[in-house]
Structure 1
Amino acid sequence: MRATRRRGASALVATLLLAVATVTLASVPPRPLRSVVTLVHALGLRVATDWLAVVALLSLGERVATGEESITRATVRRLALAVFVGGVAIEASPLVRLVAEPSAVTTTVLVEEVAGALQEGLFAAGLFVGTAAGGAALRDALGDRAGGGLPLAPSERRLPRVSPRAVGRVARVMGVAAGLWFGIEVASRLALGVPYFWLAVGESAVGGLGGAVDYGVLIVAFLALAVDGADARSVVGGAAAVWLVLVVLGIAVGVLSAGLGVVLVGATATPMGAVEAAGMGLWPAPDSWAQLLATGTFLAGAAGLWVVQRTVPERGGPEPSAAVDDSGAPR
């Protein structure tokens, strides 16, 4: 029962933070009420998908913190499948409204919505699997320094001990997710017909890389919390670091896409106008919704982890006293 309450409390904190972030982003700068409602609906799909991954991670975090249940590959697979299926269902939910409308749903809209739902579900599941795989590699790398429960190995260092092996494991997982995302994107574009094949391939590759980088940053940040623990310093500093790294890497991906656009113009029959229209070479602004929502996802997970740490007693600590009767025997 206590474990259920802890999970509920951490999930509630994460949900409230993501809800506040969604409404804030939709309302600033001030917008008409109808515009706010529309944006909350659009942003809410991304928030809800990330929320599934965050709640699944909190479930694993509590198992590590308490040590009451072992984490097996089957457990990770089941939770990853639940995150993927749930994410796809959330992202595909607008199709229900479109199908219910009197007008027929065009093939283009249907293909784009289904492909987008699969892609978002993939990255949400990748966020969960990458964190689980990185955490396992991290515990192996820490060895004797990894204590029982969470945090794994708190220290006074400015930078947490996130091993290169754990980062490499995260990169492999997100590479697989990005590859699948790329395959779905290219297949959907070819199915709809594209005037410039290599532009579609290049744009899809940049999109997959950008998503993998964004979620990879979140995973490494969550692993840093697992090592040092979630407190005011690590949560605030981690959120600032996540935002800054996302901005810097977003610029790097934009520069890479600009170079790829130049290569496409020079090596293929793709005109410069098509490259510019596709947005090759652009990078997200520091205050864009994508950057801020990713930071909000980190804050939600960090707050939920903080709740788990605060409510789980330390290993070896005093157990709650059992009620006894007059004879001294436990009831």
Structure 2
Amino acid sequence: MSVLVATSLLAVATVTLASVPPRPLRSVITLVHALGLRVATDWLAVVALLSLGERVATGEGSITRSTVRRLALAVFVGGVAIEVSPLVRLVAEPSSVTTTVLVDGVASAVQEGLFAAGLFVATAAGGVALRDALGDRAGGGLPLAPTERRLPRVDPRAVVRVTRVMAAVAALWFGIEVASRLALGVPYFWLAVGESAVGALGGAVDYGVLAVAFLALAVDGADVRSAVGGAAAVWLVLVVFGIAVGVFSAGLGVVLVGATATPMGAVEAAGMGLWPAPESWTQLLATGTFLAGAAGLWVVQRTVPERDESESSAAVGDSGAPR
């Protein structure tokens, strides 16, 4: 219900902000609006992950594939609704809406919803592999296996599971991107394919890093040390991987110029070879998504021991003997 209400309120706010007439603050409103969509979409995935975390922490209710599928579908549908909400104003306008705007907007909304749902599914799948790898070391509840190590141990099998899920999501994202570009018409086919591949790879890397970071929280627990250290690690890894994707993009651009009829000017105009700056919104929003998950998991961990303690005290009679 909270997801539905939040999505509806955000849609109303989006239409309201999009209806503001041009003024000096229009660029600021547009920026806040665009960032708000990204935050809300990632928030859905975080809320779904916290619901699974609460089940693990309390031991109430089993987590089945059906549960994961239902939550993943809710994240996907909610993400698409959030991302497509700006198109409501365009459709309601008396003037005709171009096909390009509709196709591009709907395709982008589906792609963002896919990555949000992919973050949820990848973390859940990695958690299953992680728990199987820990075996007897995984106690009941959360954290799974806290240690005194500075860096929590995330089993490679869990990382592989996350990689597989994000690779599948990236493939779907790539297919939608290429199909939408071809439907709208592109002057250089191979450049469109290369740009789509770089975009899919960049998104998969970003959300894959977040999924592994959430698994690290599940292993070691969420506290001030893990939240601050994890946020710094997420930001640093995203910057390093962003540079790596940029280098790959540059190499791909060189290949396109040499092996196809794509001119260098078109490659440069497409931004091939560029990577996000360390202070870019991409890095900051991903770090904020991790902090939101860490804060929520910290609350889950703190509420469960209090419940257990109250139940244990209530189960002891006045003589001090258990009932």
* TM-score, normalising length: structure 1: 0.86
Q: Deviations over 1:222-255 (max 9, x none)?
A: 0000000000000000000000000000000000
2:62 match: 70
**Structure 2 residue identity aligned to 1:241:** A
- RMSD over aligned Cα atoms: 2.1
Following TM superposition, by how much is the alpha carbon of 1:307 offset from its aligned partner in structure 2, in angstroms?
0.7
2:138 match: 146
Q: Deviations over 1:277-317 (max 9, x none)?
A: 01000000000011100000000011010111111127975
- Tell me, yes or no, if structure 1 residue 304 matches structure 2 residue 296: yes
1:16 match: none
Following TM superposition, by how much is the alpha carbon of 1:321 offset from its aligned partner in structure 2, in angstroms?
4.8
In 2, Cα distance between equivalents of 1:122 and 1:312: 32
In 1, Cα distance between equivalents of 2:306 and 2:124: 22
Q: Percent identity?
A: 89
2:36 match: 44
Q: Deviations over 1:49-80 (max 9, x none)?
A: 00100000000000000001110000000000
Structure 2 residue corresponding to 1:285, chosen from 258, 277, 283: 277
2:6 match: none
- Tell me, yes or no, if structure 1 residue 185 matches structure 2 residue 180: no
**Structure 2 residue identity aligned to 1:117:** A
Structure 2 residue corresponding to 1:204, chosen from 196, 220, 223: 196
Following TM superposition, by how much is the alpha carbon of 1:33 offset from its aligned partner in structure 2, in angstroms?
4.4
Q: Deviations over 1:3-24 (max 9, x none)?
A: x9xxx9xx9xxxxxxxxxxxxx
2:259 match: 267
SS of the equivalent of 2:311 reads: coil
SS of the equivalent of 1:96 reads: helix
Unaligned runs of 5+ in 1: 12-31, 327-331
1:230–1:306 Cα contact (<8 Å) kept: yes
- Tell me, yes or no, if structure 1 residue 86 matches structure 2 residue 78: yes
Task: Tell me which stretches of 4 or more aligned residues in structure 1 moved more than 4 Å.
Answer: 314-318, 320-324
- Tell me, yes or no, if structure 1 residue 134 matches structure 2 residue 134: no
In 2, Cα distance between equivalents of 1:77 and 1:175: 18
1:123–1:177 Cα contact (<8 Å) kept: yes
Following TM superposition, by how much is the alpha carbon of 1:37 offset from its aligned partner in structure 2, in angstroms?
2.5
2:15 match: none
1:255 match: 247
Count the aligned residue pairs: 298
Structure 1 residue corresponding to 2:152, chosen from 134, 148, 160: 160
**Structure 1 residue identity aligned to 2:71:** L
1:148–1:315 Cα contact (<8 Å) kept: no
- Tell me, yes or no, if structure 1 residue 102 matches structure 2 residue 94: yes
In 2, Cα distance between equivalents of 1:233 and 1:35: 37
Q: Which has the higher contact order (CA 8 A, sep 6+)?
A: 1
- Tell me, yes or no, if structure 1 residue 59 matches structure 2 residue 68: no
Going from structure 1 to structure 2, the CA distance change for 1:246 and 1:233 (only over 3 Å counts) comes to: same
**Structure 2 residue identity aligned to 1:177:** V
* TM-score, normalising length: structure 2: 0.89
1:23 match: none
**Structure 1 residue identity aligned to 2:251:** G
**Structure 1 residue identity aligned to 2:173:** W
1:17 match: none
Following TM superposition, by how much is the alpha carbon of 1:101 offset from its aligned partner in structure 2, in angstroms?
1.2
Following TM superposition, by how much is the alpha carbon of 1:40 offset from its aligned partner in structure 2, in angstroms?
1.4
**Structure 2 residue identity aligned to 1:158:** R
Structure 2 residue corresponding to 1:276, chosen from 251, 261, 268: 268
In 2, Cα distance between equivalents of 1:314 and 1:238: 26
Going from structure 1 to structure 2, the CA distance change for 1:225 and 1:323 (only over 3 Å counts) comes to: closer
- Tell me, yes or no, if structure 1 residue 226 matches structure 2 residue 232: no
Q: Deviations over 1:87-125 (max 9, x none)?
A: 011100011011111211100000000000000000000
- Tell me, yes or no, if structure 1 residue 239 matches structure 2 residue 231: yes
**Structure 1 residue identity aligned to 2:211:** I
